[in-house]
Structure 1
Amino acid sequence: MTVTRRKLIEVALPLEAINKEAAREKAIRHGHPSTLHLWWARRPLAAARAVLFAQLVDDPASRSEAAAIDDPDEREHWIRAERARLFRMIEDLVKWENTTDERLLKAAHEEILRSTDGNPPPIVDPFAGGGTIPLEAQRLGLEAHASDLNPVAVLINKALIEIPPNFSGRPPVFPGVAHERLGEWPHSTGLAEDVRRYGKWMRDEAEKRLGHLYPKAKLDDGTEATVIAWIWARTVTCPNPVCGIEMPLVRSWWLGKKRGKEAYIVPDVVDGPRGKRVTFRIGHDVRSAPAKEDDGTVGRNGATCISCSSAVDLKYIRSEALEGRMSSVILATVAEGNRRRMYLAPTDDVESAAGVERPSNAPSAAIPSKAPSFRVQAYGMNKWSDLFTNRQLVALTTFSDLVGEACEKVLADAEAAGWSTGKRLADGGSGAVAYADAVATYLGFGISKATDYHNALCAWRSDPKNEGIGHLFARQAIPMIWDYCEGNPFSSSSGNLGDQFVWIGKVLDRLTASTSASAKQSDAASRGFEGALISTDPPYYDNIGYSDLSDFFYVWLRQSLKGIHPEILGTMLVPKVEELVANPYRHNGKDGAKIFFEEGFRRVFTNARRTPLKDYPIAVYYAFKQTETDTEGSASTGWETLLEGMIRSGWSITGTWPMRSELGNRMLSMGTNALASSIVLALRPRPEIAPSTERRSFLNELRDELPEKLRELQQGSVAPVDLAQAAIGPGMAVFSRYSDVVEPDGTSMSVRKALGFINQILAEVLSEQEGDFDPATRWCLKWYETYGFNEGPYGDAEQLSVSMNTSVAGLARSGAVRSGQSKVTLIHPDDLPANYDPQRDNDITLWEVVCHIAKALDTVGIDDAARVMARAVDRVDLDSAKGLAYLAYSIAERKNWSPIAQLFNSLVTSWADIAAVARDHKDEVPEQGQLGLDELY
């Protein structure tokens, strides 16, 4: 009989290290693939890299070396040591600085080869999106295949994994550049340099043609300054017939709030030949600055006329906009000063420079009328071109035309450099024509990226840390903006055209993979998976409307790149009907959307189940929380849909791992299946002839199997905060190995009820671990659960001590409690004495050791905690100590004692590091305890 080799992802992962780097990655910009082009809900690179490695690498317990060791203790020690070695490799792999470490990546690839008999399977991501998973597969030396229905996603994947290897190691062709530096141009550095050079040529050429539309600001001293942005406000006519002023709709009058450099707009109502109008000047006196209640003229409930103070309903503003009677007025000009922004009052020439005609070749495609995350249609913005000013449309269409001109220039320069002409990039070419297409693709990305900053829905940010132009997609929506800023693409500030190509070049500089890969447009439900291993991040129910949002960029990518990618950019807009999102407006309401999503999800994974690789688990990411309550309690609808869909599609769940990409300590609820940033599921195909079982048998198997699996998770240093989610994996492995779990009334058990049983038995297993503790520790744990670190009656303490076969006096001698005046108090870790030495403790308890290690870690650091651990190794069972920390956390979390929960959570997540340092204290430990130190990992 063939024995299944369990992979690391099915047994243990160094979650804390992965989560730490995933969270840190959010602050990294330079060279990060997210700066190639915007995409929504990207998975962190660190998480994808770790998951792929763990999908392919054997858990040490499944390796033949482990089976060859006869002695159980020796085998267990070898397994622990090997897991620790693999954990250290993963901990190195997930660091951003190591993404270009070819030595480390080669070592990781060799580890993968060792576990795959030298023939790792190709990796396929059928929902490739922003390209994280295919990129990381390629980085690990694996054959990567990306597909997506969305053409914007397909282009992103081509730009990340398919195009760069075709031109790896080639020097740039821009005239004179190849000889400017000594040595070779490894990987994609030559391509990166050409993108920067031709991008600068495009920027300079555009300024020659459009510079007159972006005049410099004239200062009082007669000098000029480059403009960063012009700030505008939308206007409607005041409905008060006595007033009738063109009233500005302003969210905030503030321009800058840096201390000593404050600036704000001051509106003045003045009389003119055509009646009253509003003029604007700049104020700097903080004493006269707008108060919160006077800051702006429009809010969620409506607007206020600046002249007559009439309240104006939003319905009126919408009706005016829909009738084409909404206009705009200039509020201020922002110019580049000496290490500061300069704010200038508007002048007539500034407004006239913006008064250009709309270009005839602007994108004419319509915005979906009912897109749920859009608010602009209610104000008459029905075409994508309506989201831009006329000046922005002139600039963007000119930039798009320049992409084609740059492509011709690259072709001529490549041929002059000796390249053969060859075929087009879309036809699989790798010569001069294909290279010109490739460079043009990245230039087109630069224009598309720039639209995020060059549209009429960008707010000016006045806060001290981010004073400047805000971009549109701060979140996954297109909101209505009243006052907006029109950036100067030829400045050196946010969103300027030149920087777009610099950012893209930095991404290409860091792409070191040279193995070929493919990216294609395909529906996940109909594509084939034969011979490939799935690792994917599918859509999350109705969380993000990718197709509606990506149309914003698609219309501009199509404008500049349709001739280069005719098949991908052949449709007027992004395909939407087949998109696997539970979209109510597209699928006849909420119920229809739910049916569409669930049936589509099952089709995808039923299709994948037809040709599975039986030696490897697939990996599926999930990241959404939608809670509903019914007779069975509260649960996450999307989460259950995912699990039900997988099980009904013929998959068995073998692992669930919380991947947290948010900074800070977030305490997840152990009893409610609260979701982390994302959950990664490991799944294997369930046998076609899988039997059914009854509820009693299911519960018995849970009680039989969960304790050992829980021990593996705890030994793997899964944080207590993540334990409930990680334990779902082995629990659902029992549930999903059966074709059906039958309730006593003959109905099928739901996933929701199964999750409830898993949580219930998890709590039982944790409680049963108390049997490994000494009597005094069991007393401390029960007292802690009842009173925490507060006072309790002496009578209760004495009664509990009798049942635990200990005494209050003995507990006081051990240093665990204080007793006096008919009260007993469990001593808080903060109040424990410093310099504790377990070797000199004549009344030692496991509770006391754990609290001292936690205190040392929290107040001094790992080295001091390691000293306590090393000195305790021959006095207490440190495996039990770790289990006690888990229990102490779970009680604190359940009681909402956040600070103490964080203390014990930090102890467990740092356990491996403390143990590693503890071995350095070996000389301080009595000889009989040194073997125990060797067992630590």
Structure 2
Amino acid sequence: MALVPFEWKDKPALIEHLFPVQKLSAESYKEQMANTGKALTALGSYWKGRKPLILSKACILGALLPATEDRLQDLEIFELLMGMDSDSMQKRLEEKLPASKRDTVGELLVLPYNEQVKAAKRPDEIGDSLSIHIWTKVNQYLGTSAASFPELIEQIGTARYGRRPKVADVFCGSGQIPFEAARLGCDVYASDLNPIACMLTWGGYNIVGASEEKRIKIDNDQEHLARKVRKELEELGVDSDGNGWTAKAYLYCNEVVCPESGWKVPLLPTKVISQDYMAVAELIPLPDEKRYKIDIRFVNSEEDIKNAKVGTVQGADLVHSPDGANIYRVSLKSIRGDYKDSRDTKNKLRLWSKTDFIPLPGDIYQERLYCVQWQNKIDGKNQVQIRPVTPGDEEREQKVINYVREHLEEWQDKGYIPDMVIEKGYNTDQPIRERGWTHWHHLFNPRQLMVNGLINKYCDAYLAPNFAQLLNYNSRLCVWHSAKGQGAGSISNVFYNQALNTLYNYGCRSLELALKKMADPIKNEPLTNTVLFRSEAHPAQELEVENDIYVTDPPYGDAVKYEEITEFFIAWLRKNPPKEFAHWTWDSRRSLAIKGEDEGFRQGMVAAYRKMAQKMPDNGIQILMFTHQSGTIWADMANIIWASGLQVTAAWYVVTETDSALRQGANVKGTIILVLRKRHQELETFRDDLGWEIEDAVKEQVESLIGLDTRVRAQGSEGLYTDADLQMAGYAAALKVLTAYSRIDGKQMVIEAEAPRQKGKKTFVDDLIDFSVQTAVQFLVPVGFEKAEWQKLQPVERFYLKMVEMEHQGVKTLDNYQNFAKAFKVRYFEQLLSDSSKANFVRLKLSTEFKSTLMNENAEIGRTPLRALLYSLFELSKEVEVDDVLLHLMENCPNYLNNKALLAKMADYLAEKREGILGTKASNPNVEASCARILAESIRNQRL
């Protein structure tokens, strides 16, 4: 029997009761590691805050699917739809493996799930063929009749909302969430304050998702643009040497006058041009002119390359020697004329004007072309030459300067090149301070202005994302890479990190290399369904369209300042945007951006989420993703949720970071997913009653997940949840209880939530969150301890023992240690970690690593029974007699007799959890396990 409209109107959503976060973490990590292999990255690699598409898919399906009494069946259907079932995994492995190795698929299928994922293709790489086998079982369970995701979404959306579901993201960023929603078959509303975000989101649907016929037209338009630009520049002849060689890349550097010698010196951090071609720059002194000629020399040895890596910029100094005997070393700060004005450091750089595009003769930093890379096809083979600059090159360079000078005013008026002032800011101060550049076009040299401007002149909406990518790869901020494996050299992007880094030397693309970048391939995943898709530019709080499901990844405390750095692109598009984007406001609107800090963050978020709550039906659902680093983030989120008229119904934690992020150490984190509903009732309670209610809710939530995990393991599958996941579920249960109430202790929670924070003072909400988190954490008592015993321990002891259990489960990333340290209120948890710990492989110190450190009262763990126990284990490992060890334990452990039984229990616990874990000769967990077993028995048998 077919589903009828609103049949599921009041059914809870699957994501409110279960979410296989361990498998989703493995899948999300796999997608993040794909880098340029991801569907939307090629549209705008400069946008770094991308959540995995598979996570968006999971959230949307989880919000639409119903939760039933049969959780195992619910889980099976969800995994079928996600391509995470065993049959789908077999197909994914077979697709990835070469034919000669497909007989090993069976061996791979018995490996842990994350290992299977590593060896397999991603579900989205295979397409519809992956889901052919699922529909019979899915339809039978759900009562649907679908043969594709759009059909399924239409039917289950109708059952819940009476229509195809409308999914919205009002912080759409690079468009990950809207694209996945459209790919599934939802109607989509996407908005962002930033027009570059809107362009990328529009491009996801209209370019990546374009039909094959449309993509052919886009390719033809690209070729047409290239022909037009080439035609305009042919007569100038500025990219050809006249002998059949065409320029590929140009190398430029700054020059300064050394105040001690009076010589004009090129600023070269390295003199290596190309390690692969063994090409280096050679500085030849011209004493009569007090400057250096730059020649190109081809060397024969790695020693020559090593020597050439030392350039004229060494650290913060200019270093040169005109005669090979006298070495001049001058601070670049002194050349720049740095000085203190009040609290700020300033310098004597001239601030450039709107009409400037090259340095004036008296400027401190001059600029020169010092090398050209040429290309030619000879006998059908591509040939490359690296040459020093010739008089002919200088003539062509002057032609370019003259051309830009003649067209500058006209092109700025028409919007082909920028005339926009660089507004001061956290990121944008850098080019002003370091080079005196005051307008965005100053970040581009004459050749780049000419090429980028002509391309912009002929660009339409479908080519605009490629044009933005070209800007990212063709500016004065583009690093020239000369290392091995780069051929004759390569030019990197401006936003290899999220800053505007000025350079002393840089690479510049020729016209042909620029057009090649414009033609970089973009994935094509045609969206054949007839969904409605809108991309609009406005602040989140100005939303005027009702939607059923909101999935958002808003700015937060450590957010990238996109409102500043995207002005780099906005400056080029704002005066002459393609007609499809003309109705957007082409300005970063910094003052309206929700910034991830201080009071403005909370107020902006409250306004946005309150408006979303108003613009969704009573059974609507919101899924809020955020990356948490700040210790106050839970209180901030509770404030925002309360004040917005929402309540938490679930929370999950998914690892979404890549190795590059993991290498940053303290920045390691995943994504917290909060599930929110409207708060329909005006309920009141008192704090004294909350403790029991929170404890009951936490107990019910955690026991439910443990029960499901146990049943899954009983079927021979991997477990679904670790203690970190259960901790997050406990937080959610606590927040669910809290945010259900409108009044607590007679206080209106909306008013309390909106009250400004006072620095250094805890609010009523902060206290409630602390209380709730502690209640949730205290429930997670490790097996082997009674609740009363567990609560008797100091927070630092509970943290250490809990993380011992986590390590036993195989959890090893820094974010888990950070999360539990915050939960247990352990301030100096780093003291307990091994010195060899890395962000993606963290572990606690063993007793042999503590030795006798941290025994005093000043240490957080000092003078605790656990610290005394660890010292005893160290002594046993050094073969100290057991009687002497027990004597020292009695001396070191406060209140020994009352703690004797607990000490034996902790020793048993360490023996169990340390056994079987790999270690080194110097720090072996198995040795510690053996010592702990001996100590536990000795404590129990001790006669006093």
TM-score by length of 2: 0.65
Asked if 1:482 is matched to 2:537, the reply is no
756 and 244 in structure 1: CA distance in 2 versus 1, 3 angstrom threshold: farther
Deviation at 1:527, TM superposition (A): 1.6
| Structure 2 counterpart of 1:609, from 607, 610, 613 | 613
287 and 147 in structure 1: CA distance in 2 versus 1, 3 angstrom threshold: closer
Deviation at 1:369, TM superposition (A): 2.2
**Contact persistence 2:635–2:769 (CA under 8 A):** no
Deviation at 1:621, TM superposition (A): 1.4
Deviation at 1:201, TM superposition (A): 2.0
- In the alignment, what sits opposite 2:572? 556
Listed as ranges, the gaps of 5+ residues in structure 2 are 1-7, 89-121, 133-145, 337-346, 352-361, 412-416, 710-719, 753-761, 788-801, 810-831, 833-843, 850-876, 884-908, 927-944
- In the alignment, what sits opposite 2:125? 97
Listed as ranges, the gaps of 5+ residues in structure 1 are 62-77, 166-186, 404-439, 583-592, 628-634, 773-777, 793-817, 825-883, 902-937
Quick check: 781-790 or 602-611, which moved more?
A: 781-790
| Structure 2 counterpart of 1:250, from 268, 284, 293 | 268
- In the alignment, what sits opposite 1:432? none
Tell me how far apart the structure 1 counterparts of residues 595 and 12 of structure 2 sit (CA, whole Å): 33
**Contact persistence 1:13–1:718 (CA under 8 A):** no
Deviation at 1:155, TM superposition (A): 2.5
102 and 161 in structure 1: CA distance in 2 versus 1, 3 angstrom threshold: farther
Which AA in structure 1 matches 2:39?
A: H
- In the alignment, what sits opposite 2:905? none
Asked if 1:647 is matched to 2:642, the reply is yes
Deviation at 1:189, TM superposition (A): 1.0
Asked if 1:684 is matched to 2:698, the reply is no
Quick check: 386-395 or 262-271, which moved more?
A: 262-271
Tell me how far apart the structure 2 counterparts of residues 223 and 673 of structure 1 sit (CA, whole Å): 55
Which AA in structure 2 matches 1:248?
A: P
Which AA in structure 1 matches 2:316?
A: N
Quick check: 222-231 or 453-462, which moved more?
A: 222-231
Q: Any idea what the Cα deviations from partners look like across 1:263-289, whole Å, max 9, x if unmatched?
A: 3323232324x3343423234333543
Which AA in structure 2 matches 1:15?
A: V
Deviation at 1:194, TM superposition (A): 0.9
1:361-376 → structure 2 map (5 Å cutoff): 361=411, 362-372=417-427, 374-376=429-431
- In the alignment, what sits opposite 2:348? 319
1:788-807 → structure 2 map (5 Å cutoff): none
**Contact persistence 2:83–2:131 (CA under 8 A):** no
Which AA in structure 1 matches 2:511?
A: P
Asked if 1:567 is matched to 2:583, the reply is yes
- In the alignment, what sits opposite 2:43? 36
Q: What is the DSSP-based 3-state SS (H/G/I as helix, E as strand, rest coil) of the residue aligned with 2:612? A: helix
Asked if 1:349 is matched to 2:392, the reply is yes
40 and 823 in structure 1: CA distance in 2 versus 1, 3 angstrom threshold: same
1:139-288 → structure 2 map (5 Å cutoff): 139-161=183-205, 188-211=211-234, 225-240=245-260, 243-258=261-276, 261-272=277-288, 274-288=289-303
96 and 164 in structure 1: CA distance in 2 versus 1, 3 angstrom threshold: closer
Deviation at 1:645, TM superposition (A): 1.4
Which AA in structure 1 matches 2:397?
A: A
Q: Any idea what the Cα deviations from partners look like across 1:383-416, whole Å, max 9, x if unmatched?
A: 111011111111122112223xxxxxxxxxxxxx
- In the alignment, what sits opposite 1:526? 542
Tell me how far apart the structure 2 counterparts of residues 3 and 516 of structure 1 sit (CA, whole Å): 22
Which AA in structure 2 matches 1:703?
A: E
1:864-903 → structure 2 map (5 Å cutoff): 888=913
822 and 127 in structure 1: CA distance in 2 versus 1, 3 angstrom threshold: same
Q: Any idea what the Cα deviations from partners look like across 1:28-52, whole Å, max 9, x if unmatched?
A: 5357222123434122211111111
Which AA in structure 2 matches 1:692?
A: T
Deviation at 1:528, TM superposition (A): 2.6
Tell me how far apart the structure 1 counterparts of residues 175 and 579 of structure 2 sit (CA, whole Å): 23
Tell me how far apart the structure 2 counterparts of residues 329 and 84 of structure 1 sit (CA, whole Å): 65
224 and 452 in structure 1: CA distance in 2 versus 1, 3 angstrom threshold: same
Tell me how far apart the structure 2 counterparts of residues 482 and 197 of structure 1 sit (CA, whole Å): 39
**Contact persistence 1:126–1:148 (CA under 8 A):** yes
> Percent identity, aligned pairs only?
18
- In the alignment, what sits opposite 2:368? 329
**Contact persistence 1:270–1:279 (CA under 8 A):** no
Tell me how far apart the structure 1 counterparts of residues 275 and 771 of structure 2 sit (CA, whole Å): 51
579 and 782 in structure 1: CA distance in 2 versus 1, 3 angstrom threshold: closer
Deviation at 1:190, TM superposition (A): 1.0
188 and 270 in structure 1: CA distance in 2 versus 1, 3 angstrom threshold: same
Q: What is the DSSP-based 3-state SS (H/G/I as helix, E as strand, rest coil) of the residue aligned with 2:780? A: helix
Two-structure CA RMSD over aligned residues (Å): 4.5
**Contact persistence 2:422–2:428 (CA under 8 A):** no
- In the alignment, what sits opposite 1:68? none
Tell me how far apart the structure 1 counterparts of residues 281 and 691 of structure 2 sit (CA, whole Å): 68
Tell me how far apart the structure 1 counterparts of residues 16 and 557 of structure 2 sit (CA, whole Å): 25
**Contact persistence 1:213–1:354 (CA under 8 A):** no
Asked if 1:735 is matched to 2:738, the reply is yes
- In the alignment, what sits opposite 2:328? 309
723 and 246 in structure 1: CA distance in 2 versus 1, 3 angstrom threshold: farther
115 and 446 in structure 1: CA distance in 2 versus 1, 3 angstrom threshold: closer
791 and 83 in structure 1: CA distance in 2 versus 1, 3 angstrom threshold: same
Deviation at 1:542, TM superposition (A): 5.8
Asked if 1:596 is matched to 2:606, the reply is no
Q: Any idea what the Cα deviations from partners look like across 1:172-205, whole Å, max 9, x if unmatched?
A: xxxxxxxxxxxxxxx6111111111120121133
| Structure 2 counterpart of 1:56, from 34, 57, 64 | 64
- In the alignment, what sits opposite 1:576? 590
Asked if 1:762 is matched to 2:765, the reply is no
Which AA in structure 2 matches 1:333?
A: V
Q: What is the DSSP-based 3-state SS (H/G/I as helix, E as strand, rest coil) of the residue aligned with 2:389? A: coil
269 and 523 in structure 1: CA distance in 2 versus 1, 3 angstrom threshold: same
Deviation at 1:366, TM superposition (A): 0.6
Tell me how far apart the structure 2 counterparts of residues 283 and 531 of structure 1 sit (CA, whole Å): 64
- In the alignment, what sits opposite 2:432? 377
- In the alignment, what sits opposite 1:797? none
Tell me how far apart the structure 2 counterparts of residues 247 and 280 of structure 1 sit (CA, whole Å): 14
Q: How many residues align?
A: 695
Tell me how far apart the structure 1 counterparts of residues 372 and 169 of structure 2 sit (CA, whole Å): 47
**Contact persistence 2:638–2:739 (CA under 8 A):** no
| Structure 2 counterpart of 1:5, from 11, 14, 19 | 11
1:535-554 → structure 2 map (5 Å cutoff): 535-541=551-557, 543-554=559-570
Tell me how far apart the structure 2 counterparts of residues 791 and 327 of structure 1 sit (CA, whole Å): 60
Deviation at 1:216, TM superposition (A): 6.0
Deviation at 1:749, TM superposition (A): 4.1
Q: Any idea what the Cα deviations from partners look like across 1:699-722, whole Å, max 9, x if unmatched?
A: 322322223322444435034454
Q: What is the DSSP-based 3-state SS (H/G/I as helix, E as strand, rest coil) of the residue aligned with 1:204? A: helix
Q: Any idea what the Cα deviations from partners look like across 1:569-615, whole Å, max 9, x if unmatched?
A: 5x5x3322211125xxxxxxxxxx62222212111122223344332
**Contact persistence 2:634–2:769 (CA under 8 A):** no
Which AA in structure 2 matches 1:736?
A: T
Tell me how far apart the structure 1 counterparts of residues 575 and 546 of structure 2 sit (CA, whole Å): 36
Q: What is the DSSP-based 3-state SS (H/G/I as helix, E as strand, rest coil) of the residue aligned with 1:129? A: coil
369 and 518 in structure 1: CA distance in 2 versus 1, 3 angstrom threshold: same
Asked if 1:698 is matched to 2:737, the reply is no
Asked if 1:503 is matched to 2:542, the reply is no
Which AA in structure 1 matches 2:442?
A: D
448 and 213 in structure 1: CA distance in 2 versus 1, 3 angstrom threshold: farther
Which AA in structure 2 matches 1:189?
A: E
Which AA in structure 2 matches 1:200?
A: E
- In the alignment, what sits opposite 1:843? none
Tell me how far apart the structure 1 counterparts of residues 579 and 123 of structure 2 sit (CA, whole Å): 39
Tell me how far apart the structure 2 counterparts of residues 768 and 761 of structure 1 sit (CA, whole Å): 16
